[in-house]
Structure 1
Amino acid sequence: MSATSTPTSPTSTSSNNVSGEKQAPTLAEMVKNLNTEKLIEFLRGENLQLTDAHYEILRQEEIFSCTFLKTTKDEFRDLGLKFGPATILIEFAKEVKNKKLSAFSSYRTLKDFKEVLAKYGIDSNNITSIPQFQPEPHTLDEKDKVLHHCISDILLKLENMGTVADSNESMRREYISSILHASVRITRKVTGKEIIIRLEQEIIVDYGITDTEDLLCVAEGKQNLPAIGFAQNLVQLESSCQTNLKKQKKRKASDAFGGNDYEYLYSIVSTGTNWYFILYTTEGIYCTSETEYHISLTKSALKDDTDLKRNVKRVMEIIVGLLKDRITVKKAPDAKKQRVEEKYKSEH
């Protein structure tokens, strides 16, 4: 599989300064309103090597994120934390305060999209200009209970909310969420692996699908203009690949991997009715923009749901196939590169 180009790190920002340049928010600004349980969930996701007992102290003392960022090491010690865990929390709090985030949602125009594609050697603002890849679906049994539950949920929402036409993003995400949750549930059943969906937390997209260690896939729900969702996802994917690679390097020596720094992730951009899939690698980007994955979300499905069932099943088979591929590949960079080349190199 040939690389489009070696991407540089896209820069994204959120607010303007006096020079007219946008400034990225700090991670602290993004997490400052987390309650105790959300804070603990966030800290667990950062692999700080803390135990349940340490988190229970935060829970008992009702430490919110705003409190966490202001607490001193001595105060953590007074709460019952030993020197080691207290130091870990203080050092991490410093990182949170200083770390700048890419405000991926600030990409809102086709001009922004063109700038993002230019970083990958693509001179265009059209998603059809991105090199194509053909995802490998995982065939679902038409009698699968999770699939049937998903269809029933979608029909219920169509009955309650009506046809998806010029609806807003919140309404469209209701349908996207049903399909993603069902797909993740089936993938867990098929692979026996732990996979979870994380909503708009340390990743600034709508959904992040992770295993116990790394991000596997991101998903963005858009009202229209899927190209904008592509721009936001590509920036997020680049950042997430680098995060995954850093985590891999920090793992204990017996799990360390040599070879090149290679990573790949999948992404989903959807308006609820139209679904696009992205393959992001550290050597290039690929998508399914010329392939039609469409689900008609109209009230006519309440009378005849044949087309709805067929198209939801088709989309879910793609999602399960991508997640199954990504979670079962060996974590060594060389193994990931070999997997991508074996699956997709003949297409380029």
Structure 2
Amino acid sequence: MVNFQWPTNRVKTTLTELKSRLRTCFTFPDGTEDEDITISREIGSGKERITTRILNDTDLVNIIWSDSFKGDLAFVVDTSQQPFSSWTFGKMKNLFSLSADSFVDLPKFDADRADTSEYKEVLRHVVEDIIMKHKASQSILSANEATRCEFISSVIYGVASVFNGEVKVCPQYEISGSHGKGPVDWAIKVRDMIIVITEAKREDINQGVGQCTIQLQASMQRNKKRSYDTALREIEMFGIITTASDWVIIKVVSSGVNDDSRVE
């Protein structure tokens, strides 16, 4: 619960002004637009509690400037998008009008193999770290998601370290887009631009691909707001879905027109 004051008058009593004030009191997921913020009023308590959504300026004015209003007002603030965790491959498939019934049926994209010969020391450190964790952990084949994340982190931080500080790893990074919101397991960033999203799963790579695709779309929407050049052209972003033993890389290409995206 957050308490705040909002000095206003009848002219300034608008949802836009209230949401602007709320942004100074709350931390919303990165990429949240004003239209994504929902505000409701709760009246009563327990079983008698009634929640009323404030849809427009008239609703807000009627509440604040009501003759019966005295004292503090309690609002419920949220965002309208679905949590990323609610997305499945099937729901994502329908959103983007894909024909594939599983991630294995998605089109394959070509990529060059990286030359790792100059990163032998980093590779050695990553392998040693994984071996150390393997000795002190249960078998990766029966481990829960939290344990698997420990092994995945070794690889992600090792790869990011070869870029001498230019690439940053941001675990549990909050983002928001037109179709989803919430934390992503790891966002990989160069300066203020997200370049890769990584999703950890105990199992069910298929669901992970569905979730990660929506996370990638939200990340591309976020990036477009921060770069004029990116907003004018087709962009692509890669996602990694992994159980720590199995690794799947997907590519989402967006033209920026509604939900016109290609998943490979």
Q: Assess, with a 3 A threshold, how the Cα gap between structure 1 residues 120 and 161 changes in structure 2: closer, same or farther.
A: same
Structure 1 or 2: more strand by fraction: 2
Which SS does the other structure have where 2:89 is aligned? helix
CA distance in 2: counterparts of 1:212 and 1:145, whole angstroms:
25
Would the aligned equivalents of 1:279 and 1:286 in 2 still touch at CA under 8 Å? yes
Match of 1:224 in 2: 203
Q: Give the secondary structure class of the aligned counterpart of 1:119.
A: helix
Q: Deviations over 1:306-330 (max 9, x none)?
A: xxxxxxxxxxxxxxxxxxxxxxxxx
Note if 1:127 corresponds to 2:103. yes
Shift of 1:98: 5.0
Residue pairs, 1:1-348, within 5 angstroms:
70-72=3-5, 91-93=23-25, 96=28, 97-107=77-87, 112-141=88-117, 144-186=120-162, 188-189=163-164, 194-203=166-175, 204-248=183-227, 256-257=228-229, 260-283=232-255, 284-287=261-264
The letter of the residue matching 1:276 is: V
Contact 1:278 1:285 (8 Å CA) reproduced: no
Contact 1:105 1:205 in 2 (8 A): no
Q: Give the TM-score of the pair, scaled to structure 1.
A: 0.50
Q: Would you say the 8 A contact 1:130–1:285 is kept in 2?
A: no
* AA aligned opposite 2:3: K
The answer to which of 217-226 and 137-146 deviates more is 137-146
Deviations 1:34-66 (A, max 9, x none): xxxxxxxxxxxxxxxxxxxxxxxxxxxxxxxx6
Q: 1:94 to 1:198 in 2, by over 3 A?
A: closer
Structure 2 Cα separation of the partners of residues 219 and 278 of structure 1:
10
Letter in 1 for 2:254: T
Q: Which has the higher contact order (CA 8 A, sep 6+)?
A: 1
- Give the conservation status (yes or no) of the 8 Å contact 2:224–2:230: no
Aligned length: 193
User: What runs of 5+ residues in structure 2 fail to find an aligned partner?
Assistant: 8-19, 29-76, 176-182, 256-260
TM-score by length of 2: 0.65
CA shift in 2, pair 1:217/1:258, >3 Å: closer
State the percentage of identical aligned residues: 21
Extract unaligned runs of 5+ from structure 1.
Answer: 1-65, 75-87, 249-255, 288-348
Change (3 A) 1:70 1:145: farther
Query: Deviation of residue 278 (structure 1)?
Result: 1.0
Structure with the higher helix share, 1 or 2: 1
SS in 1 for 2:252: strand
Residue aligned with 2:174, SS: coil
Q: What is the CA distance between 1:121 and its match in structure 2?
A: 2.5
